[in-house]
C-alpha cells in the first residue's frame, strides 16, 4: 500500500501562499483597482469634490487628437529603440564571442552602461548635445548641421531614441551573449568543417537558435521603451518641443502631476495597463509556441 | 560594565528628555520653490525670524520648481501631511482659489490669530491678483515681479542706438546692433507670460473673456486676437535675420544675454541678482516696448512670481506662528532687503518708501522700472491680471504653439488659434470639476 503524506487541513497550504497573495493584492491589485476607480471620476486637484462619470474620461481621450498622436509616437519610439538597441547588441555579442584575448575586459565594458540610472543616462546625452554648450553640437556645426533639439522635434526624437537605445544595449548584449554561449560548439564546428564562413554560420545556425532570446528581448525592450524611458525623457526634453517626444507614459505624468487632471491621467494609465497585459498574453500564449527551441 | 550600562541608559534618557524640550517649539513647515541664491535668502529670512522669538520655528523646505512644489503640496494634502505654508506661483492661483476647503485665507489667518494686519499698505497691483471678488486677501504676496526690457548698455552704445521705446524701434535698433557685430538683437524668456499675457495687459487687450477669468469660470481665451498674431508673426519673420533668437522656456535664454550674444532680453525684473552676478558689461533695465499698431499708449504690466498660501488641517496654535511669520515677512525691513537683493518688487508701500529713503534707486538707476510699470495706470479689467483654471497646462500649450511658430512649422495665426482652442478645452474641464 502506498502511503501518501498529506496534510489534514488545507490551512497550512493557504498560509504558505499567503505572503505572495498579500504582496500581489497590496502592491498590484489594490493600486490597479484604485486607478480603475479614479478613471471613472472627474475630480478637482485637492480631492475635495468628485463626480462619477463612467467612461467620460475615456471618451474624451479617444476624441483628443493629441492622445492619438501620442499613441503613434510611442509606437514609433518603441520600435526604433527596440530595433536599434537589439541590433547593436546582437552585432556586439556576435563579435565579443569571437574575441580570444581580453574577452572579459570587453564584455565588462559593454555591460557597464546597464548600471547607469536612466536619469543619469539622459543627463550625459544632454551635456553632449546641448544646443549651446554641447561638444557634439560643436562638431555638428562643421558639417553644416544646425543642431537645436530644443526647437526641432525630429532632432529631439532622434536624441531620446539614441539615449534610450544606448542604455538598453548592455542588457540585450548580456542576453544575446548567454544565448550564443548556450549553442553547442559542435554544431558550429561541424558547419565550419563543411566550409561555411563566419557570416553564414551566424545567419544559418546562431541566429535561428537564439530566436527564443530574441523574442524575449523584443517583449522586454518594448516594455522598457513604453515605461522605463520616463527618466530619460524627463531629463532631456520633458516631452517637448511641442509634444514631439511626449510618449504615453510621459503624458500620464504630464496630465496627472503637472496638469492635476487625475481622472484623465488615470484613464490613460488604465489603457497602458491593458497594453502591458496584452503584451504579456501575446508573449506567453501566442508567439512563444511558434519560437523554435532547441 | 554595569557602570557603562547605566551611563548609556542615562545618556539616552537625557537625549530623549532634550528631544522633548525641542518639541515644545511649534514648527511651521514652509515649502518653497526658491533654488540657488534665492533659496539661501529664504533660509536667511526663516532663521532671522526664528532668532527673533523662541515660540515658533519656521522650517523652509525646497521642493523643486514652482510646478513641483505646488503638486507636491497638493499630493501631501491628499495624504493629510500638508505643510502649513506653501509657495504657489501666480498661474496656480485659480486652482488654489477653487480649493476652498483646503485653503486658509491669509486674511482670515491674521484675523483669527489676532495679528495686526494693514491691507491698505500693500501695493494694489500686487494684491489685486490674489483677492476674492469681495476683496478678501487669500494668499500672502512674497516674490512678485514683472517683465522688463534688459539691455546691454555697452552694445547699444557701440551700435549708436538709444534704448528702444516701441516695437518698431526694437527692430531698427536690432538691425544696427547686428551691423555692429552682435549675434542677435533680442530674446525673451517665460514667453507666454512676457509675449502673450503681459503684451496684452500692456496694450489693454483682453486675454480671456469674463475679465480675464476674474468674473467667472465660464471664460474663454482671446489670445488669438489679431494684435498678438501680428506681433508674433513679425518676430518670427525677424528671427530669420537674427533680430530675434529663441533660447528656450523659462529663464533658459538668460545665458544668451549675459554672454553677450543678444543685446536685449525681455524677462522678469527678478533676474537682477543673476544678471548682476554673470554680466561682464554695463546693463540696465527699461520699460517694455510699446506696439504702436496695437495701442497708442501703455497701460500697465502684470505681475508674476509667487505668493504664500496657508493650508488647513493643523492645530490652531500653529496658525498663530504662521500669522507671526507672515507679519515678519511683510515688514518693511525684510521686504526692502528682499527687493534690493533679488529684483522682486517690494510688496508694500512702506518697503518701497524705505528703499527710496535708503537711496537704492539713486545708486542703482532703473531698478524701480518694475514697480513703475505696475503702477503706470489704474488697472483695467484687461490689465488687472488673469485667473484661469488649469493655467499651468495652458501655459505649456502656449509654449508649445509658440515654439511651433519659432521653428517655422506653423504660422502665428494657426498656432494661436490652436492654443486658444486647446486652452478652452482645459477651461471647460476645470469648470466641470469645480462646479
pLDDT for A5 equals 64
Q: Please state the rounded mean pLDDT for residues B414-425.
A: 95
CATH fit for domain B147-301+389-433, picks 3.30.70.360, 3.40.50.620, 1.20.272.10, 3.40.190.10: 3.40.190.10
Q: How many residues does chain A have?
A: 294
Q: Please state the rounded mean pLDDT for residues A173-201.
A: 89
Reply yes or no: is the peptide bond before residue B254 cis, omega within 30 of 0.
no
What are the CA-CA distances from residue A289 to residues A82, A179, A210, A277, A283 (Å)? 22, 18, 15, 18, 9
* Tally of CB atoms within 10 A around B405: 25
Q: Find the helix or strand (DSSP H, E) in which B59 lies.
A: strand B56-62
Helix/strand/coil for A170:
helix
Q: Which of A260, A257, A200, A208 is closest to A234 using CA atoms?
A: A257
- Express each pLDDT in A76-124 by its tens digit: 999 999 999 999 999 998 888 777 677 788 888 888 888 888 888 888 8
Q: Do A47 and B67 touch (CB under 8 A)?
A: no
- Express each pLDDT in B40-95 by its tens digit: 999 999 999 999 999 999 999 999 988 889 989 998 998 899 999 999 998 888 88
Chain B residues contacting A via beta carbons under 8 Å: 67, 71, 74, 77-78, 95, 98-102, 246, 248-249, 252, 255-256, 390, 392-393, 396, 399-401, 403-404, 406-407, 409, 426, 429, 432-435
Split at pLDDT 50, 70, 90, the class of B6 is: low
pLDDT for A147 equals 85
Residue B377, all three cell numbers: 495706470
Q: Do B71 and A240 touch (CB under 8 A)?
A: no
pLDDT for A286 equals 66
Chain A residues contacting B via beta carbons under 8 Å: 42-49, 51, 132, 150-153, 240-243, 254-255, 257-261, 264
Residue B129 CA to residue B156 CA, distance in Å, equals 36
Q: Which residues form the domain of A173? A: 65-290
CA dihedral A41, A42, A44, A49 (to 10 degrees): -60
Domain B22-145+305-362 is of which CATH architecture? 3-Layer(aba) Sandwich (3.40)
Residue A254, domain member (yes or no): yes
Map out the domains of chain B as residue ranges.
22-145+305-362, 147-301+389-433
What is the least distance, in Å, from the CA of A257 to any CA of chain B?
A: 6
pLDDT for B87 equals 96
Q: What is the domain count for chain A?
A: 1
What is the least distance, in Å, from the CA of B398 to any CA of chain A?
A: 9
Contacting residues for B263 by C-beta, under 8 A, at least 6 apart: B151, B152, B155, B156, B159, B174, B177, B182, B184, B185, B186
- Express each pLDDT in B80-95 by its tens digit: 999 999 999 988 888 8
Q: Do A46 and B434 touch (CB under 8 A)?
A: no
φ, ψ at B323 (rounded to 5°)? -65, -40
Residue A211, domain member (yes or no): yes
Residue A85, domain member (yes or no): yes
- Express each pLDDT in B379-393 by its tens digit: 888 998 899 988 888
Q: Do A45 and B67 touch (CB under 8 A)?
A: no
Q: Which of these ranges, A19-23, A87-91, A282-286, B14-18, has the smallest mean pLDDT?
A: B14-18
* Tally of CB atoms within 10 A around A183: 15
Split at pLDDT 50, 70, 90, the class of B20 is: very low
pLDDT for B405 equals 94
Q: Please state the rounded mean pLDDT for residues B15-35.
A: 72
Q: Please state the rounded mean pLDDT for residues B110-122.
A: 89
Q: Which of these ranges, A223-227, B131-135, B251-255, B268-272, has the smallest mean pLDDT?
A: B131-135
What is the least distance, in Å, from the CA of A19 to any CA of chain B?
A: 27
Residue A287 pLDDT greater than 80, yes or no? no
Q: Please state the rounded mean pLDDT for residues A189-211.
A: 88
Q: Please state the rounded mean pLDDT for residues B341-345.
A: 89
Residues of A in contact with B398 (CB under 8 A): none
Q: How many CB pairs under 8 A join A and B?
A: 74
Residue A220, domain member (yes or no): yes
Q: Do B246 and A151 touch (CB under 8 A)?
A: yes
**Shared fold status for B22-145+305-362 and B147-301+389-433:** yes
Split at pLDDT 50, 70, 90, the class of A4 is: low
In angstroms, how far is CA B414 from the centroid of its own chain? 29
What is the least distance, in Å, from the CA of B186 to any CA of chain A?
A: 17
Amino acid at each position: 500500500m502506498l502511503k501518501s503524506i498529506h496534510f489534514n487541513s488545507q490551512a497550512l497550504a493557504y498560509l504558505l501562499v499567503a505572503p505572495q497573495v498579500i504582496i500581489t493584492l497590496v502592491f498590484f491589485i489594490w493600486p490597479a483597482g484604485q486607478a480603475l476607480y479614479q478613471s471613472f471620476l472627474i475630480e478637482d486637484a485637492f480631492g475635495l469634490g468628485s463626480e462619477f462619470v463612467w467612461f467620460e474620461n475615456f471618451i474624451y481621450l479617444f476624441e483628443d487628437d493629441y492622445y492619438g498622436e501620442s499613441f503613434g509616437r510611442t509606437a514609433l519610439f518603441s520600435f526604433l529603440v527596440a530595433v536599434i538597441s537589439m541590433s547593436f547588441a546582437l552585432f556586439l555579442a556576435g563579435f565579443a564571442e569571437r574575441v580570444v584575448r581580453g574577452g572579459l575586459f570587453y564584455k565588462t565594458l559593454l555591460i557597464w552602461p546597464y548600471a547607469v540610472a536612466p536619469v543619469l543616462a539622459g543627463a550625459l546625452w544632454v551635456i553632449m548635445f546641448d544646443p549651446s554648450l554641447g561638444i557634439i553640437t560643436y562638431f555638428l556645426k562643421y558639417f553644416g548641421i544646425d543642431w537645436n533639439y530644443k526647437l526641432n522635434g525630429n532632432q529631439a526624437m532622434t536624441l531620446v531614441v539614441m539615449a534610450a537605445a544606448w542604455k538598453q544595449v548592455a542588457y540585450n548584449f548580456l542576453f544575446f551573449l548567454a544565448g550564443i554561449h548556450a549553442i553547442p560548439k559542435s554544431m558550429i564546428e561541424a558547419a565550419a568543417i563543411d566550409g561555411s564562413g563566419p557570416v553564414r554560420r551566424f545567419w544559418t545556425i546562431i541566429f535561428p537558435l537564439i530566436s527564443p532570446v530574441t523574442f524575449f528581448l523584443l517583449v522586454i525592450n518594448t516594455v522598457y521603451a513604453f515605461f522605463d524611458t520616463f527618466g530619460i525623457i524627463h531629463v532631456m526634453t520633458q516631452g517637448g518641443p511641442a509634444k514631439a517626444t511626449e510618449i504615453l507614459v510621459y503624458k500620464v505624468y504630464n496630465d496627472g502631476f503637472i496638469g492635476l487632471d487625475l481622472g484623465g491621467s488615470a484613464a490613460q494609465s488604465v489603457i497602458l495597463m491593458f497594453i502591458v497585459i496584452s503584451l504579456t498574453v501575446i508573449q506567453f500564449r501566442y508567439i512563444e509556441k511558434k519560437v523554435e527551441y532547441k | 560594565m554595569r557602570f557603562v550600562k547605566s551611563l548609556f541608559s542615562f545618556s539616552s534618557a537625557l537625549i530623549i528628555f532634550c528631544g522633548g524640550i525641542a518639541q515644545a517649539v511649534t514648527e511651521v513647515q514652509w515649502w518653497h520653490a526658491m533654488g540657488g541664491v534665492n533659496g539661501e535668502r529664504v533660509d536667511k529670512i526663516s532663521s532671522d525670524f526664528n532668532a527673533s522669538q523662541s515660540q515658533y520655528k519656521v522650517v523652509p523646505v525646497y521642493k523643486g520648481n514652482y510646478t513641483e512644489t505646488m503638486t507636491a503640496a497638493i499630493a501631501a494634502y491628499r495624504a493629510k501631511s500638508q505643510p502649513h505654508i506653501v509657495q504657489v506661483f501666480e498661474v496656480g492661483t485659480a486652482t488654489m482659489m477653487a480649493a476652498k476647503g483646503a485653503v486658509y485665507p491669509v486674511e482670515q489667518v491674521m484675523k483669527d490669530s489676532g495679528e495686526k494686519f494693514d491691507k491698505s499698505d500693500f501695493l494694489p497691483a500686487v494684491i489685486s491678483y490674489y483677492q476674492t471678488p469681495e476683496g478678501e486677501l487669500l494668499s500672502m504676496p512674497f516674490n512678485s515681479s514683472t517683465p522688463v526690457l534688459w539691455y546691454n548698455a555697452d552694445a547699444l552704445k557701440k551700435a549708436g542706438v538709444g534704448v528702444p521705446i516701441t516695437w518698431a524701434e526694437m527692430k531698427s535698433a536690432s538691425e544696427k546692433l547686428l551691423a555692429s557685430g552682435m549675434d542677435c538683437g533680442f530674446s525673451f524668456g517665460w514667453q507666454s507670460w512676457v509675449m502673450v499675457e503681459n503684451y496684452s495687459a500692456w496694450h489693454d487687450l483682453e486675454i480671456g473673456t469674463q475679465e480675464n477669468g476674474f468674473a467667472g469660470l465660464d471664460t474663454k481665451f482671446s489670445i488669438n486676437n489679431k494684435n498678438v498674431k501680428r506681433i508674433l508673426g513679425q518676430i518670427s519673420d525677424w528671427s530669420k535675420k537674427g533680430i530675434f533668437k529663441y533660447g528656450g522656456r523659462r529663464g533658459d535664454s538668460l545665458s544668451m544675454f549675459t554672454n553677450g550674444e543678444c543685446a536685449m532680453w525681455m524677462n522678469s525684473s527678478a533676474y537682477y541678482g543673476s544678471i548682476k552676478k554673470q554680466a561682464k558689461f554695463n546693463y540696465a533695465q527699461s520699460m517694455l516696448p510699446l506696439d504702436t499698431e496695437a495701442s497708442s499708449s501703455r497701460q500697465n504690466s502684470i505681475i508674476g512670481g509667487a505668493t504664500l498660501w496657508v493650508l488647513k488641517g493643523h492645530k490652531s496654535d500653529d496658525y498663530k506662528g504662521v500669522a507671526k511669520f507672515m507679519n515678519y515677512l511683510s515688514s518693511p525691513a525684510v521686504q526692502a532687503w528682499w527687493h534690493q537683493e533679488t529684483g522682486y518688487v517690494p510688496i508694500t508701500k512702506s518697503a518701497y518708501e524705505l528703499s527710496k529713503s535708503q537711496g537704492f534707486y539713486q545708486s542703482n538707476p532703473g531698478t524701480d522700472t518694475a514697480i513703475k510699470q505696475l503702477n503706470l495706470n489704474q488697472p483695467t479689467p484687461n490689465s488687472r491680471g488673469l485667473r484661469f483654471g488649469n493655467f499651468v497646462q495652458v501655459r505649456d500649450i502656449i509654449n508649445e504653439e509658440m515654439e511651433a511658430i519659432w521653428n517655422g512649422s506653423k504660422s502665428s495665426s494657426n498656432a494661436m488659434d490652436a492654443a486658444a482652442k486647446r486652452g478652452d478645452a482645459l477651461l471647460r474641464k476645470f469648470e466641470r470639476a469645480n462646479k
